[in-house]
Structure 1
Amino acid sequence: MDAGQTVRCNWRQNLAVIWISQFLSMASFSSAYTFMPFYFSSLGVPDEELSMYVALFNVAGNLTFCIFAPIWGMVADVYGRRIMLLRANFGAAVMLPLMALVNSPEWLILLRLGIGALTGTVAAAQTLLISTTPKEHRSFALGTIASALFGGMMAGQFLGGDYVMLFGFHSAFLASGGLLFVSGLLVLLGVRENFERRESMREHLAGIRWRLPRFGLVWYLLILFVFMGLAREFDNPFLPILVREVMHGAPEAVSWSGRISGFCSLAGILSGLLLGYLADRMSLIRVASAVIVIAGVMRIVQSFSSDVIQLLVERSLMVLAAGGIEPLLQSWLAGVTPEREHGSFFGWAACFKSVGWMLGALSGGCTASLLGGVRGVFFGSGIMFLLLVPLMLFTSRRLPPPRFRRAGR
């Protein structure tokens, strides 16, 4: 869009359309990725190497996402945030079905590198929402989108397990690509953005010093994103393996992995809405600290699970507590950074978070291999979550999250 040209924008309409779009996007990704350990097994990976291949798969995507997220964020600041969400959805719609064509685990990991570079619907959607939503409603908007993410995961994981059992992995990858295409169409037709282009990409690049930006105190918050990603991803890729162990290798472990993840996503819907609502009215730090402690304890409890129903309840309670933490951090970041640079800062935040994901997945895979099982991974993840509380309190003393007065107060 040329400078001075704007489009009327209704933030509530954008929120509603992006909610549906992200629901479909996450349903597609979760139906494809949740069962990746079983797909690796179908490609001939032996059980003793499975944890490491799963870790490498997650590290591969996070590595390229880490590299490209700041680049896409910079492009968003020049050309607009809506076009970045379109790029992520349509790019994933093309790339994800290609997983049906691979015939070796190595090719699957290489393809994941390409997907990580081209996609990133969540970061793009959050940046677009931040730029189109009034400050006093941002925590609510981000929490609402978190509910879409978990709702989509619920649909993808809950139905995906049975879909894979009935139609196979290849059909699931193709269906996932179709959902992502529909998600992109919704954004194309239903989302508007008031964006004024102020400079060309050449002018923008001319003003960049090719080094890490001077983040100032925002460094503390970005480091918190790293540790949050590390704690989250330490055990996430290994849930299907724990389910299979709890069920003593029963074939129904594929379906139960989806059901557990589905119930967790339902809990995440409630968590995102509730925490976003509370953070607009209470201290963000108090809300986040309380739920992080609950989530950490519940992760430790999961490491001792001996029954699949028990694991379902424990995992769901954990997500009910922790599901809305990340939107709270995003709202915190939006409140302490310049409006016109939100694309770049959210890109860097996604980069730092993906560093944490890489470290978490790789560390979890190494831990599982060294200990000869996955239970130690879940115990360690709980300890890492608990350590987030002092780190967050330390950060808040140096970079306090802003408080926005709601209209009418």
Structure 2
Amino acid sequence: MPIWKKNLVVCWFGMFATGIGMIQIAPVLPLYISHLGVGQEAAVAQLSGIAFGSTFIMSAIFSPIWGSVADTFGRKPMLLRASLGMAIVIGCMGFAPNVTVLIGLRLLQGVITGYSTACTTLIATQTDQEHAGWALGTLSTANIAGALLGPLIGGFLSEHFGLQNVFFMTGALMMVSFFTTFFFVKESFQRTDKKVRHAKEIWHQIPEKSLTVTLFVTAFILTIALYSVEPIVTVFMGHLTNSSHLALLSGLAFSASGLANIIAAPRLGKLSDRVGAHKVMVIALVTAGLLFIPQAFVTAPWQLIMLRFLFGLTAGGLMPSVNIMIRKITPTALTGRVFGFSMSAMYLGVFGGSVFGGQIAAWLSIRAVFFCTAALLLMNGLWVYCRVYRQIACAAQSSTTHRLRSDENE
């Protein structure tokens, strides 16, 4: 088996565990904060929002920094640092004596993140051009699946093993990731840039600045779309059914897109290798946007779950396409840093999606969340078509014309 395939297996498990570690606390957090002595319902909700969102804000800030360090010292050291650090910090949350310490540990968890950035960079730089789409598509399923299935896993563990044991078991999972990374990930790293440059200097070295910004925005909007329903799905499901299994149905609706993503991303990544990532990206954005519209009109839980699953199938083609494009247009020496900024956009999207969905539901209506998210995806699809698809198509046509003229002259 090629080294990049072995590394892909280990990185997939590590990113899946990291995704769980980042978001499995969502359904547990209000209960744990109450367990730590906060009695008022309003205070519990406020502190839960701060504790949950703070991790993603810090992750967005520090992802480019760790990406820069990975480009300088190697990706494997960053994988070991992040997995060990998260194992210790998440485990310590189970011993938190009060909410202040818990929030502090959540902030620290965001600071020491960087596993996903280093994994993506490692696989992107090691994999040959022919298999890059499939490899990055497979890898992207780990982070998204871990994040989307995390709340379901966290709720299950807390119900059957207790609140504190959720943190201990997740920390143990991250420790397993540390040891598998230590023993099985192989990297032949050659340092090409001895000085870690500032963001401004890095930006000047990126050849396709406009295209890079478009890809960052696409990653941000995709993540908003994935998480915009998180704050409203349980309430919306309550409008659709009087079932006593409301929590289970809500978990299925939210996690259906994660399951579909696991199925579709490797296949759509492979398709990107054949027909071009820009084509898959435009079609996936438009289809995903259109699939959000009927979600606003559902009348039964199974309809919402089915449409969320179909959305996940289309969304599975977006992150692999974004990563393939970033890999193609970024110099090797800057890959980790640019992927770090891409991960920052995704972390901000997780936080922004939750806020976006909640605010739209509060000011307009729950069903309006689906219309607004659809509009975002469709506008992004139009932007990508104008700024990416047409640019690449024109460049390919120009290259073909030039080659034909050269052949005629010969």
Same fold (TM > 0.5) = yes
Aligned length: 390
Tell me by how many angstroms 1:172 deviates.
Answer: 1.5
8 Å CA contact retained: 2:29, 2:48: yes
1:74 alignment counterpart? 68
Hey, what does 2:268 align to over in structure 1?
Answer: 275
Pick closer, same or farther for the CA change 1:120–1:375 going to 2, 3 Å: farther
User: Does the C-alpha gap of structure 1 residues 212 and 388 become closer, same or farther in structure 2, counting only changes over 3 Å?
Assistant: same
Structure 2 residue aligned with 1:176: 170
* Deviation for aligned residue 1:148: 3.0
Which of 203, 218, 223 does residue 213 from structure 1 map onto? 203
Task: Tell me the distance in 2 between the aligned counterparts of 1:38 and 1:310.
Answer: 30
Specify whether residues 19 and 47 from structure 1 end up closer, same or farther in structure 2 by C-alpha distance, changes over 3 A only: same
Q: Deviation of residue 247 (structure 1)?
A: 2.7
Counterpart CA distance in 2 for 1:209 and 1:73 is: 11
How much does 1:291 deviate?
A: 1.8
1-structure distance, mates of 2:305, 2:199: 50
Q: Residues 261-307 of structure 1: CA distance to partner in whole angstroms, max 9, x if unpaired?
A: 44332211111111111001112222122222222222233334443
Amino acid at match of 1:236: Y
199 and 221 in structure 1: CA distance in 2 versus 1, 3 angstrom threshold? closer
* AA of the residue aligned to 1:192: K
- Secondary structure (helix, strand or coil) at the match of 1:280 reads helix
Relative to structure 1, is the Cα distance of residues 151 and 353 closer, same or farther in structure 2, using a 3 angstrom cutoff? Answer: closer
| Contact 2:216–2:341, Cα closer than 8 Å, also in 1 | no
- Cα RMSD of the aligned pairs, angstroms, is 3.4
How far residue 139 of structure 1 moved from its aligned partner, in angstroms, is: 1.1
Judged with a 3 Å threshold, the aligned counterparts in structure 2 of structure 1 residues 111 and 28 are, in CA distance, closer, same or farther, namely closer
User: What are the residue-to-residue correspondences of 1:245-394 with 2, within 5 Å?
Assistant: 245-247=236-238, 252-371=245-364, 374-394=366-386
Shift of 1:190: 0.5
Q: Deviations over 1:32-68 (max 9, x none)?
A: 3365566667755647994x76665554223212221
* Whole-angstrom distance in 2 between the partners of 1:28 and 1:97: 10
Query: Whole-Å Cα distance in 2 between the matches of residues 368 and 275 of structure 1?
Result: 32
With over 3 angstroms needed to count, the CA separation of the structure-2 counterparts of 1:209 and 1:362, relative to structure 1, is closer
Q: CA deviation at 1:224?
A: 3.6
Alignment of 1:103-114 (within 5 A): 108-114=102-108
Which residue in the other structure is 2:19 paired with? 26
Confirm whether residue 225 of structure 1 aligns to residue 216 of structure 2: yes
Q: Does 1:135 align with 2:96?
A: no
TM-score (norm 1): 0.82
In structure 2, C-alpha distance between the alignment counterparts of 1:290 and 1:37, rounded to whole Å: 39
Q: Distance in 1 between matches of 2:104 and 2:366?
A: 25
Relative distance call for 1:101 and 1:188 in structure 2 (3 A) is same
Residue-by-residue CA offset, 1:57-102 (whole Å, 9 max, x unaligned): 5542232122211211111111101111222212211222344345
Aligned mate of 1:149, from 143, 146, 152: 143
Question: Shift of residue 318 of structure 1?
Answer: 0.9
Cα distance in structure 2, aligned partners of 1:368 and 1:105: 28
Write the deviation string for residues 147-182 of structure 1: whole angstroms up to 9, x where unpaired.
Answer: 333554576455443332223332222211111111
Question: What is aligned with 1:407?
Answer: none
Identity fraction in percent: 29
1:11 aligns with 2:14: no
In 2, Cα distance between equivalents of 1:330 and 1:88: 21
Q: 1:245 to 1:169 in 2, by over 3 A?
A: farther
Are the aligned partners of 1:77 and 1:342 in contact in 2 as well (CA < 8 Å)?
yes
- Structure 2: distance between partners of 1:340 and 1:288: 26
Are the structure 2 counterparts of residues 163 and 308 from structure 1 closer, same or farther at C-alpha, using a change threshold of 3 Å? farther
How far does the alpha carbon of each residue in 1:223-271 deviate from its partner, in whole angstroms, 9 at most, with x for none?
4423532452256164364224423687643333333344332211111
Q: In structure 2, which of residues 77, 88, 97 is the aligned counterpart of residue 83 of structure 1? A: 77
Relative to the length of structure 2, the TM-score reads: 0.82
CA distance, structure 1, for counterparts of residue 188 and residue 222 of structure 2: 36
Residue 357 of structure 1 and its aligned partner are, at CA, apart by: 4.1
Please give the per-residue CA displacement for 1:291-346, whole angstroms capped at 9, x wherever unaligned: 22222222233334443322221211111110231121011011001112211221
Q: Give the aligned residue type for 1:246.
A: M
Report if aligned partners of 1:139, 1:277 keep a CA contact under 8 Å in 2. yes
Distance 1:170 1:129 in 2: 35
Gaps of 5+ in 2: 397-410
Higher helix residue share: 2
Structure-2 residue corresponding to 1:239: 230
Residue in 2 aligned with 1:396? 388
Q: 2:228, 2:353 within 8 Å by CA — same for their partners in 1?
A: no
Question: Which gives a bigger RCO, structure 1 or 2 (Cα 8 Å, sep 6+)?
Answer: 1
Q: Is the 8 A contact 1:73 1:346 kept in 2?
A: yes
Aligned partners of 2:50, 2:367: CA distance in 1, in Å? 19
Match of 1:125 among 112, 119, 128: 119
